Amino acid sequence: MLLTQFADKLRSIAAKRCTAEAMDEGAPRLRCPGCSVRWNAEDRAIQSLLAKRAKAGSLDRMALSPLCLPHLRLILARSGDQELSRYLLERGADFLERTAEDMQRFAIRHEALKRGLTSTEERTSYIQALQMLVGHRNVNAVFTLRDIL
């Protein structure tokens, strides 16, 4: 399954280099001058997150949601903090695995005509998966898998 493959890739990166370059291997990022406004806003948000990390000191004191793969890559590119990078990669992998399991449970229950037993997480798991892979449609422009692999 695609999500499981991405989760494995994030764990592999977390175990080794924890860098944006590791995410870019074999799939260089393409740049579009028309996206510079969005990129500047993303840069400011990432700098804000890194500043909060520096202020908090400990990762235990930060409440961070999993980041979509495009924004995770941006954090890895701008942060030299291996602890933060590993933490974010592991959180992303955990989220992808849980979402993949929710999607599998939904499919099994749907096929078994036990649709009434599906949870909200299972019913919305496909949306969560897409947002994790390419980002929320209101935030990110269209990315291809080549851009985020």
The per-residue pLDDT for 93 is 92
End-to-end CA distance of the chain: 15
The per-residue pLDDT for 113 is 72
The per-residue pLDDT for 97 is 92
Q: DSSP secondary-structure letter at 29? A: P
Q: CB of 91 within 8 A of CB of 66?
A: yes
The per-residue pLDDT for 137 is 58
Compute the distance between CA of residue 148 and CA of residue 73 in angstroms, rounded to an integer. Answer: 8
Compute the distance between CA of residue 84 and CA of residue 46 in angstroms, rounded to an integer. Answer: 13
For residue 28, the one-letter residue type is P
The per-residue pLDDT for 138 is 54
pTM score: 0.61
Structure tokens given for 10 = 């994030």
The per-residue pLDDT for 29 is 54
Q: Which stretches of the chain drop beneath a pLDDT of 50? A: 26-28, 142-149
The per-residue pLDDT for 52 is 84
Torsion sign over Cα 129, 89, 75, 13: negative
Compute the distance between CA of residue 133 and CA of residue 144 in angstroms, rounded to an integer. Answer: 10
Compute the distance between CA of residue 20 and CA of residue 9 in angstroms, rounded to an integer. Answer: 12
Q: CB of 106 within 8 A of CB of 123?
A: yes
Compute the distance between CA of residue 128 and CA of residue 100 in angstroms, rounded to an integer. Answer: 10
